[in-house]
Amino acid sequence: MTASTASTNPSSRPALTKLSEDELAFQEAVRSFAEAEIKPHVTAMDEKAEMKSEVVKKLFEMGLMGIETPEQWGGAGSTFTMACLAVEEIARIDGSVSVLLDVQNTLVTNAILKWATTAQKEKYLPKMASEWVGAYALSESSSGSDAFALKLKAENKGDHFLLNGNKLWITNAKEASLFIVFANIDSSKGYKGITAFLVEKGTPGFQVGKKEDKLGIRASSTCELLFENCKIPTSQVLGEVGKGYKIAIETLNEGRIGIGAQMLGIAQGAYEATRAYIQSREQFGKAIGQFQGVQFQLAEMRTSLEAARLMVYNAARLKDSGEDFIESAAMAKLFASRAAEKITSLAIDLFGGNGFTKEYPVEKFWRDAKIGQIYEGTSNMQLQTIAKMELS
């Protein structure tokens, strides 16, 4: 890439949100890791639409795939805020790797920590912290925003269930060894029939189907899942039978903060690239950053970025402290995803014709940012959540 980014030291930029010394040290370590171990592969992974296995391996070696997992099961025993910091810093380099990390920590591992039996935790958490990637399988062709219109059927056979149907748009599907799969055991009960299952890769009757060819986060695998008389023992039910809807709602509320962190990182990467570029690109005999019109646009980017950061960090802090964070999570995802699209689009504008080419980084940041307003709850769904809470 022709345009360099600004300093890689997080403390070199003004921070409106106070982090502890441990958090700052962790943030800097993850940023250095992303620069050294992920950045060299970003272009190739995007072009091939494929995640390099060595990058995933490095995430495990760095201890980033089990951030909240207690030390007794091989994790770091850290906080949700730390997980969000990691997602943000990885996204600053690559949105695809960051969403793999995000789904692992804020969705799959979080759900297991909260809902799994002791036996299930002992079985899966050490693997999730050391070698297994997780996937969260909720969406179907008929259930996007209407998340509970599930048609994947789970037939109760006493000591096991038979799963039949399919899932769509499942992140991490190609890399995953463990899937949290939501199915309906009784469609007449509506959402009260939904049950969550822990399904391992290689289970007979289960296979990963077509991989989507996407606009952005191209290295992140998004695939169809196929189930045909897939036999799942009752011991693999996550939580209670018929209570899958509760697991889905509570986990997604947390996951939205993670997506907000991803959008924050993407926006940060675009902002840093733009700030460096406008100080080196000359027109009319001087750097374009000396023109007031350009300065004002950079100021708009910076303001939106910091507002998003405050909202995301606040939501993460509320979650860690055990306080009600649902409305804050919806606001953080809504605002951060909009800010990311705005900031990455302005970045292309300020790069001019260069911004429209793949030689420079900002077109990829823009492509990666768009998904933030779609997955883990569209912007309209976040607005609906906020409005309901304000009027309740």
Homologous superfamily assigned to 10-132: Acyl-CoA dehydrogenase/oxidase, N-terminal domain (1.10.540.10)
> What pLDDT does residue 145 have?
84
CA 343 – CA 368 distance, rounded (Å): 12
Confidence at 17, pLDDT banded by 50, 70, 90: low
> Does residue 308 contact residue 271 with C-beta atoms inside 8 Å?
no
Catalytic positions, written as ranges = 376
Q: Evaluate if residue 14 carries a pLDDT over 60.
A: no
228-274: pLDDT as tens digits = 999 999 999 999 999 999 999 999 999 999 999 999 999 999 999 99
Entry field: residues in the chain: 392
Query: Spelled out in words, what is the top-level CATH class assigned to the domain 135-242?
Result: mainly beta
Report how far residue 193's alpha carbon sits from residue 51's, in angstroms, rounded to the nearest whole number. Answer: 36
Burial readout 232-243 (b: 16 or more C-beta within 10 A, e: otherwise): beeebbbbebbb
What span, in angstroms and rounded, lies between the C-alpha atoms of 51 and 221? 8
Residue 119: φ, ψ to 5° = -60, -40
Ordered by start, the domain boundaries in the chain are 10-132, 135-242, 246-391
Q: Give the pLDDT confidence of 279-337 residue by residue, as tens digits.
A: 999 999 999 999 999 999 999 999 999 999 999 999 999 999 999 999 999 999 999 99
Letter for the amino acid at 163? L
Distance CA 333, CA 60 (A): 26
pLDDT in tens, 158-186: 999 999 999 999 999 999 999 999 999 99
Fold of 246-391: Butyryl-CoA Dehydrogenase, subunit A; domain 3 (1.20.140)
Residue 7 is predicted with a pLDDT of 40
* Contact between 198 and 120 (Cβ < 8 Å): yes
- 17, 238, 332 from 114: Cα distances, Å: 28, 10, 23
- Torsion angle in degrees (nearest 10) through CA of 231, 235, 246, 162: 10
Q: Are 344 and 215 in contact (CB under 8 A)?
A: no
pLDDT of residue 32: 98
| CA–CA distance, 163 with 232 (Å, rounded to integer) | 8
| Cα distance from N-terminal residue to C-terminal residue, the chain | 50
**Which residues does 92 contact at the CB level (< 8 Å), separation at least 6?**
31, 34, 265, 266, 268, 269, 272
Let me know: does 315 contact 332? Beta carbons within 8 Å: yes
CB atoms within 10 A of CB 65: 27
Cα(84)–Cα(316) distance, rounded to whole angstroms?
7
Confidence label for 2 from pLDDT (cuts 50, 70 and 90): very low
**pLDDT of 199 over the 50 cut:** yes
Summarize the chain as % helix, strand, coil (round to 5).
Answer: 55, 15, 25
* Predicted confidence (pLDDT) per residue in 95-104, tens digit: 999 999 999 9
